[in-house]
Structure 1
């Protein structure tokens, strides 16, 4: 079967168990992998992409390098991993200007610095077009797997929901983001949130959202539960950009590139979760809960499964 017919999620389900160790801190196919070192988990994540596929309007090599580290770090932080360092693999055409390569790495180094971890070198290779591979390393005393049980509350961390989707739409439709500084910031510098670490041991499960919130919620449903959304965050600037609530909901559900966390929280941990989040300055939005059954619903209406897939247009 060709990959375009199989799809990315189905391929990953076949690939993830290959060589994966028994008793690992996280299950195969989670946002990151790891091994136990004593009572602590050491986590690893690798992410790769083509420059032309992620360079939105207004993004130069600095912003693309920044985005590469951000994407990798988001997977680690959603697992409650404290970043230790990052490495960067580059594929560069031989006729590329030196300044371009320097800006690319400077952007990656800046994102790593803001996350409190160094850029630890990497590798350079000749390629037909610019591509990046970023690896991140982290430690966690309580790694957070993909896990949900009926009755758990669904929380969305962060405030980029819909904003990155607006930035992506502006890119493809040639729309100006003048007057939308938070949307522009979310699109160009989507830094994951170290503040998530303040919530360690309280959520039951967590997932990184980068292929679109709807896709992420469908992945929650694959854990054997039904996801019932009661509300979604609709920021005033997203509503203004979209021109209406229906269009804004589309950006929240299918925008992608949020690099935010979806958290599944036992009801008895909610009060402590909110208290710690407030103390850490982490925005949290209660979007709904999970129950018995299957599928994803918003106020009783089914949410179609759509999201980014590397092998499908």
Structure 2
């Protein structure tokens, strides 16, 4: 059987348990993995991608390097781990300009710096095209798994929902983002939220959203619950770009690459979550709730499982 026949999710489900330690802080296949050390969890995440697959029109190597560290850091932060360091594995053609490689690394270093972390070197390899592998690590006192119970509330952290989807659409449609600076910023410099750490001890579960909100919510529903979306954050610039609410909803649900967090909040912790998020400057949007049953719904209508997937 070939990879294209089973798809990415089935592949990961089969690969994730291989060699994974018993009693680990998080189950295999979660956003990050780790081990216990002295009563504290140390989490590790690795992410890889081809340059040409993520570089939107107007992006250069600095932005792509920045994006690589941001993607890895997002998976750590949503598990309540503070990123401390990152390494880069670079695949580079021999005829590539040295300046290109330097800008790539400088972008990665800048993202790490903004997160209070460091770039700790890595490896270089010859490749037919530019590709990156980014690893990051950090400690977590109480790692947050993917969990949900009927009655829990669903919150979306951050303000890039729909904006990155708009930038991706602009890339493929050849549209200029000059009139939409927040959309451009969201896609070019998607810095994860250190403010998530202020919510330690209050959440039931959390997931990183990088393959699209729809796909992320379906991963939550796979835990054996029903996800009911009651509202979505529709920013004025996304509405203007989309030309209407229906298209804006499409961008929010199926955009991807947000590197934001989907949070599962027990109802008794809601007030405290909102208070701490406000103090930390973390934008939160109440999107719905978790119930008994299965599937993902928006205002009662089924949400198709659509998102980015390899193979």
Query: TM-score by structure 2 length?
Result: 1.00
- 2:186 alignment partner in structure 1: 186
* Distance apart, 1:9 and its partner CA: 0.6
Runs of 5+ consecutive residues of structure 1 not aligned to the other structure: none
Matched, 1:122 2:122: yes
- 2:152 alignment partner in structure 1: 152
- 1:140 alignment partner in structure 2: 140
Distance 1:174 1:4 in 2: 29
CA offsets, 1:44-83, max 9 Å, x none? 0000000000000110000000000000000000101000
Distance 1:273 1:58 in 2: 37
Distance 1:91 1:39 in 2: 37
CA offsets, 1:173-232, max 9 Å, x none? 000111111000001000101010000111100000000000000000001100000000
Q: Counterpart of 1:12 in 2: which secondary structure?
A: helix
| RMSD, aligned CA | 0.4
Matched, 1:101 2:68: no
* Distance apart, 1:38 and its partner CA: 1.4
Count how many residue pairs are aligned between Structure 1 and Structure 2.
311
* Distance apart, 1:42 and its partner CA: 0.1
- Spell out the pairing of 1:157-168 with structure 2 (5 A cutoff): 157-168=157-168
Distance 2:178 2:97 in 1: 30
Q: Counterpart of 2:83 in 1: which secondary structure?
A: strand
Q: Counterpart of 1:82 in 2: which secondary structure?
A: coil
Q: Counterpart of 1:23 in 2: which secondary structure?
A: coil
Distance 1:210 1:222 in 2: 17
Q: Counterpart of 1:71 in 2: which secondary structure?
A: helix
Runs of 5+ consecutive residues of structure 2 not aligned to the other structure: none
* Distance apart, 1:260 and its partner CA: 0.1
- 1:13 alignment partner in structure 2: 13
Matched, 1:304 2:304: yes
Matched, 1:46 2:46: yes
- Spell out the pairing of 1:238-253 with structure 2 (5 A cutoff): 238-253=238-253
CA offsets, 1:75-130, max 9 Å, x none? 00010100010000000000000000000000000000000000000000000000
Query: TM-score by structure 1 length?
Result: 0.99
Distance 1:13 1:201 in 2: 28
- Spell out the pairing of 1:48-87 with structure 2 (5 A cutoff): 48-87=48-87
* Distance apart, 1:2 and its partner CA: 1.1
